[in-house]
């Protein structure tokens, strides 16, 4: 009787062991792991319970990488963290999921240094960061850039704007000092253009938005405007068949020292002409081909312009869509000849 009881107990233990092994093997086969616990690391200012409320991953659930990734995105979207990540490790009875965060300190003080010509209240309006909110480095850098642009609009084109951050010992709070080096009030007094033989200086100056100072008008240096002007000049040369034209500029003090001089240098390059035009379409009907030829703006032996090819491509795409081919695709390819200035379209 005693031995029988022992045998039944042994059989029961073996049965449980087999069931447990089967369950483990089943989870392994399907690539699933059960979460044993959730750990939170790196938080000092934000309470752990607040973080746990923001994540949807919980113990005793099947671990999902997609779910954990969504959790980190949710943490970042809260604005409290500069970074958030997850790692997994093997525990005793399952997987341990660890969320590691880097908190943003609370901005509790903001000062300006060096702004002698522009009032602080005018600069504060350009800020994207606010006292009492988590400090975002991206927003702070954007704020500094906006202040720099504002100085340029006020005639301080060479103003330099930077910032310093002073964190508390525990890193939960921070103060920011925005440093301004205004330089001298300066406007663009001269716009000099060299290297242009095909397009007159007057025509180029009328095209660009950057103008020399005249009485109390114009002359404000704006880097974005100058870069846009360089592209406008490049496009002007492309339109007359000079696709390799290059335009550069240099900004420096005038010889008199009364402002800035903008020197624009143009390398016109060589002209290119259309040597051959090919239309490829496997199921193209004759009447369609006739219409296409008549619609093409680019012609043989004429100057090649990238803008004309782009317009032709868009017009042909719209033409076929007007015929009911909503998914019509029209693409162009340009081959530049190496030895002579010819292109094939």
d(CA 88, CA 322): 56
pLDDT for residue 276: 75
Please calculate the CA angle 313-316-318 and round it to the nearest 5 degrees. 110
Q: How confident is the model at residue 274 (pLDDT cuts 50, 70, 90)?
A: confident
The tokens describing 183, both together, are 């330089």
Q: What pTM was computed for the model?
A: 0.53
pLDDT for residue 341: 65
| pLDDT tens for each residue of 280-324 | 765 655 556 666 777 787 777 778 888 888 887 888 888 878 877
SS3 266: strand
| pLDDT tens for each residue of 215-227 | 776 777 777 888 9
d(CA 177, CA 111): 5
Are the C-beta atoms of residues 137 and 117 closer than 8 Å to each other?
no
**Which of these, 104, 174, 183, 98, lies nearest to 138 by C-alpha position?**
104
The tokens describing 124, both together, are 């504060």
Residues contacting residue 303 through CB under 8 Å, at least 6 positions apart: 240, 241, 271, 272, 273, 274
- Does the pLDDT value for residue 211 go beyond 80? yes
pLDDT for residue 318: 84
Q: How confident is the model at residue 110 (pLDDT cuts 50, 70, 90)?
A: very high
The mean per-residue pLDDT over the stretch 131-145 comes to 94
**Which of these, 104, 62, 65, 103, lies nearest to 86 by C-alpha position?**
65
């Amino acid at each position: 009787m005693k031995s029988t009881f022992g045998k039944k107990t042994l059989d029961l233990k073996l049965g449980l062991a087999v069931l447990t092994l089967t369950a483990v093997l089943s989870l392994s086969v399907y690539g699933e792991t059960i979460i044993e616990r959730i750990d939170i690391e790196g938080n000092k200012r934000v309470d752990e319970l607040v973080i746990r409320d923001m994540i949807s991953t919980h113990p005793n659930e099947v671990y999902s990488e997609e779910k954990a990734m969504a959790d980190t995105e949710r943490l970042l979207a809260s604005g409290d963290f500069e970074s958030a990540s997850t790692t997994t490790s093997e525990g005793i009875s399952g997987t341990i999921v660890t969320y590691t965060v880097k908190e943003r300190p609370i901005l509790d003080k903001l000062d300006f240094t060096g702004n002698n010509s522009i009032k602080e209240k005018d600069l504060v309006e350009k800020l994207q960061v606010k006292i009492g909110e988590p400090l975002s480095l991206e927003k702070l850098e954007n704020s500094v850039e906006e202040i720099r642009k504002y100085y340029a609009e006020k005639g301080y084109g060479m103003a330099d704007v930077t910032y310093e951050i002073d964190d508390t010992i525990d890193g939960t709070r921070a103060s920011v000092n925005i440093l301004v080096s205004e330089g001298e009030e300066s406007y663009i007094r001269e716009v000099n253009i060299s290297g242009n033989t095909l397009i007159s200086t007057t025509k180029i100056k009328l095209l660009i938005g950057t103008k020399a100072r005249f009485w109390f008008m114009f002359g404000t240096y704006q880097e974005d405007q100058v870069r846009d002007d360089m592209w406008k000049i490049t496009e002007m040369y492309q339109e007359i068949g000079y696709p390799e034209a290059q335009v550069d500029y240099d900004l420096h003090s005038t010889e008199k020292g009364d402002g800035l001089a903008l020197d624009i240098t143009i390398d016109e390059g060589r002209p290119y002409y259309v040597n051959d035009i090919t239309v490829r379409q496997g199921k193209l009907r004759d009447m369609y081909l006739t219409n296409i030829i008549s619609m093409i703006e680019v012609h043989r032996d004429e100057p090649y312009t990238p803008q004309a090819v782009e317009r032709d491509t868009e017009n042909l795409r719209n033409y076929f869509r007007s015929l009911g081919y909503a998914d019509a695709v029209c693409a162009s390819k340009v081959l530049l000849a190496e030895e002579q200035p010819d292109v094939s379209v």
